[in-house]
C-alpha cells in the first residue's frame, strides 16, 4: 500500500459529480429501462443478448478522462497503489463480490437506494462496513504492511 | 442510436466519477478511513447521485416503456440472502484494499497506472467466477 495521500474535502465538486452520476443512471433507465450498475453492465457487455449499448457505455467510461483532458487541460488526478499483488487480489475480490452480491457501488448504492430496495440497503451497509474495516486494519493495525 | 446513447451515458457517468473524486483511489481510501485521514466528500457523491436517480426514475417510470427498448427490466428480488451479503462483504474488502469499485476502475484504464492494468483484468476474471458461484 502506498503512503497515505492526503485529500481535500470537496463537498461541492463531489455533489456535482454525484448529480452527474445520478443523471447517467436516469438516462440508462429512461432510454434502456435498466439499472446503471457498472458491475452488471460489465458482465452484460460480454454475455447479454443486447451487448452493443453496454460495450458503448464502458467505452464512454474509458473515454471520460480524455474529455476531461480536453476540457480542463490536464488528466484527472489519481493515486493508484503500485503494490501489484495487492491490486490483483483487490480486483479479483471486487469482481467476485459484485457478481455474487448482484451489484456494486452504483448498482446497489445509487440505483438500488433510488428504488428504495431493502436488498440494496443491506448490501450498501455491508460493503461500506467491510471496506472501512479493511482500511482500518491495513492502515492502523498492520500499518501499511500490505 | 443505442450505441450512441450508451456511449453518452457512460461518458456522463465517467465525468461524474472524475469530478466527484470517486475516480481517485486516494480519495476513496480516505473516505473509508473513518478513524484516520477521513475525507467525507464521497458521502456527497452517493447522496447526490441517489437523490437525482430517485427523482429521475420516477419521471422515467411515467412512460409505459423506455425510449430505446420495448420494456423496463428492473430487479425484482427482495430477499436478503447469504449470497447478497457474502458478495457485498467480499466486494467491500476488495474495495478497501484497492480503492477501486468497477466504474472508477474502467475510467482509470485510460491513465494506465500499473496497479489499474492488473486490477481490471483480475476484476473481469472475478466477475465470471462470481457469476458461476452465484448460479451454484
pLDDT tens-place string over residues B53-86: 999 999 999 999 999 999 999 999 999 999 999 9
Which of A60, A74, A83 to mutate against chain B (most B CBs within 10 Å)?
A60
**What is the reported pLDDT for B13?**
98
Q: How far is B124 from chain A (nearest CA, A)?
A: 6
Q: Determine, for residues B120 and A90 on separate chains, whether the beta-carbon distance falls below 8 Å.
A: no
Instruction: Name the average pLDDT for chain B.
Output: 96
> ipTM > 0.85?
yes
Q: What is the DSSP letter of B111?
A: G
Q: How far is A50 from chain B (nearest CA, A)?
A: 10
* CA pair distance B104, A58, nearest whole angstrom: 11
Give CA angle at A118 (B126, A38), nearest 5°: 35
Contact residues on chain B for A95, CB-CB shorter than 8 A: 94, 122-130
Q: Does A121 touch chain B (CB under 8 A)?
A: no
Q: How many CB atoms lie within 10 A of CB B99?
A: 32
Q: Please report which confidence band the pLDDT of residue B113 belongs to, taking 50, 70 and 90 as the band edges.
A: very high
User: Tens digits of per-residue pLDDT, A54-111?
Assistant: 999 999 999 999 999 999 999 999 999 999 999 999 999 999 999 999 999 999 999 9
* CA pair distance A112, A116, nearest whole angstrom: 6
Q: Does A142 touch chain B (CB under 8 A)?
A: no
Contact residues on chain A for B71, CB-CB shorter than 8 A: 33
Q: Does B38 touch chain A (CB under 8 A)?
A: no
Rounded to 5 degrees, what are φ and ψ at B33?
A: -90, 70
* CA pair distance B19, B136, nearest whole angstrom: 40
CB B14 within 8 A of CB A61: yes
> Over 60: is that where the pLDDT of A2 sits?
no
Q: A-B interface: how many C-beta pairs under 8 angstroms?
A: 520
Short-list A91, A14, A31, A15, CA closest to B7:
A31
Which of B3, B5, B10 to mutate against chain A (most A CBs within 10 Å)?
B10
Query: Which residue bears the cell 460495450?
Result: A55
Q: Determine, for residues A97 and B37 on separate chains, whether the beta-carbon distance falls below 8 Å.
A: no
Q: How many CB atoms lie within 10 A of CB B106?
A: 27
Q: Nearest by CB to B102, which of A5, A63, A94?
A: A94
User: Tens digits of per-residue pLDDT, A9-55?
Assistant: 999 999 999 999 999 999 999 999 999 999 999 999 998 889 999 99
Short-list B95, B132, B17, CA closest to A86:
B95
Q: Determine, for residues A128 and B114 on separate chains, whether the beta-carbon distance falls below 8 Å.
A: no
Q: Determine, for residues B72 and A29 on separate chains, whether the beta-carbon distance falls below 8 Å.
A: yes
> Over 50: is that where the pLDDT of A145 sits?
no
Q: Please report which confidence band the pLDDT of residue A143 belongs to, taking 50, 70 and 90 as the band edges.
A: confident
Q: Please report which confidence band the pLDDT of residue B47 belongs to, taking 50, 70 and 90 as the band edges.
A: very high
Q: Give the CA distances from residue B28 to residues A19, B37, B101, B129, in Å, rounded to whole numbers and listed in that order.
A: 18, 11, 9, 26
Q: Does B84 touch chain A (CB under 8 A)?
A: yes
**What is the reported pLDDT for A4?**
86
Strand (E) or helix (H) holding A21: helix A11-32
Amino acid at each position: 500500500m502506498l503512503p497515505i495521500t492526503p485529500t481535500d474535502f470537496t463537498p461541492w465538486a463531489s455533489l456535482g459529480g454525484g448529480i452527474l452520476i445520478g443523471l447517467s443512471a436516469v438516462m440508462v433507465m429512461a432510454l434502456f429501462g435498466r439499472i446503471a450498475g457498472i458491475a452488471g453492465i460489465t458482465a452484460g457487455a460480454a454475455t447479454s443478448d443486447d451487448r452493443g449499448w453496454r460495450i458503448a457505455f464502458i467505452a464512454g467510461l474509458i473515454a471520460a478522462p480524455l474529455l476531461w483532458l480536453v476540457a480542463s487541460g490536464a488528466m484527472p488526478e489519481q493515486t493508484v497503489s503500485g503494490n501489484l499483488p495487492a491490486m490483483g487480489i483487490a480486483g479479483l475480490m471486487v469482481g467476485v463480490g459484485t457478481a455474487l452480491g448482484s451489484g456494486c457501488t452504483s448498482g446497489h448504492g445509487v440505483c438500488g437506494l433510488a428504488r428504495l430496495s431493502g436488498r440494496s440497503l443491506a448490501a450498501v451497509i455491508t460493503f461500506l462496513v467491510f471496506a472501512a474495516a479493511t482500511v482500518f486494519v491495513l492502515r492502523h493495525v498492520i500499518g501499511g504492511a500490505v | 442510436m443505442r450505441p450512441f446513447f450508451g456511449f453518452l451515458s457512460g461518458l456522463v457517468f465517467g465525468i461524474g466519477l472524475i469530478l466527484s473524486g470517486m475516480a481517485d483511489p486516494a480519495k476513496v481510501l480516505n473516505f473509508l478511513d473513518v478513524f484516520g485521514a477521513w475525507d467525507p466528500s464521497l458521502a456527497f457523491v452517493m447522496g447526490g447521485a441517489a437523490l437525482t436517480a430517485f427523482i429521475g426514475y420516477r419521471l422515467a417510470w411515467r412512460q409505459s416503456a423506455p425510449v430505446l427498448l420495448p420494456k423496463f427490466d428492473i430487479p425484482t428480488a427482495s430477499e436478503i440472502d447469504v449470497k447478497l451479503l457474502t458478495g457485498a462483504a467480499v466486494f467491500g474488502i476488495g474495495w478497501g484494499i484497492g480503492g477501486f469499485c468497477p466504474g472508477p476502475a474502467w475510467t482509470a484504464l485510460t491513465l494506465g497506472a500499473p496497479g489499474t492494468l492488473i486490477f481490471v483484468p483480475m476484476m473481469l476474471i472475478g466477475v465470471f467466477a462470481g457469476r458461476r458461484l452465484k448460479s451454484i
